[in-house]
Amino acid sequence: MMKRLFWLLLPCILLACAGTGTPEGTRPVTHFKPDQYLGTWYEIARLDHSFERGLQQVTATYSKRDDGGLKVINRGYDVEKGIWKEAEGKAYFVDGPDTGKLKVSFFGPFYGAYNILVLDHVNYNFSLVAGPNRDYLWILSRTPELSYPIKAELIARAQQLGFDTSKLIFVEHDSTPGMKLPHQDTLHR
């Protein structure tokens, strides 16, 4: 019985462990200051993946949790369905709070990697974030617009790190006709 349970749980354990890694040849930022990272970040660009497909006006908001982790609220507007979507999760530091490597969960005990590879260490105005491999990449900014020189620099850095930046999706943050502002009654989790 125990042997069968082990073999049933092994894939789940391996999947959970593999999901919090860092892309080979990259390193998360050090001298990270979590308090400066708190607040709202606008998604400027991302590589495509199923959990954000079709979303525009995407933001991520981070706040402190009582247990030392971070509360994460991701929001985005589903243009095709005409609704706002929201996901609430939790994040914890993997190598200590002074390193930009976190594990994030939006459901149950399953965690994914959140690796801050590039960061504006002065004002915390932009960041380049990766998942556990080169299939996940985000360019984030404190404002809905990021200046062209900074955007170009982040894209070039992502290319140097081996990401396929030709597949980046650039997120719109302007007002789309008919788009409603997110209210509790229109958010879908």
Report pLDDT for 183. 44
| Stated length of the chain | 189
pLDDT at 8 over 90: no
The domain in which residue 139 lies consists of 32-168
**Any domain includes 63:** yes
46-80 pLDDT per residue, tens: 999 998 999 999 999 999 999 999 999 999 999 99
Q: What is the CATH number of the domain that holds 57?
A: 2.40.128.20
Counting the structural domains of the chain, the total is 1
87-107 pLDDT per residue, tens: 999 999 999 999 999 999 998
Backbone angles phi, psi at 9, to 5 degrees: -85, -20
Structure tokens at 89: 């999760």
Report pLDDT for 108. 85
29-43 pLDDT per residue, tens: 999 999 999 999 999
**Any domain includes 117:** yes
Report pLDDT for 20. 77
Asked whether 115 and 130 are in contact (CB, 8 A), the reply is yes
Instruction: Tell me the pTM.
Output: 0.83
pLDDT at 137 over 70: yes
Report pLDDT for 118. 98
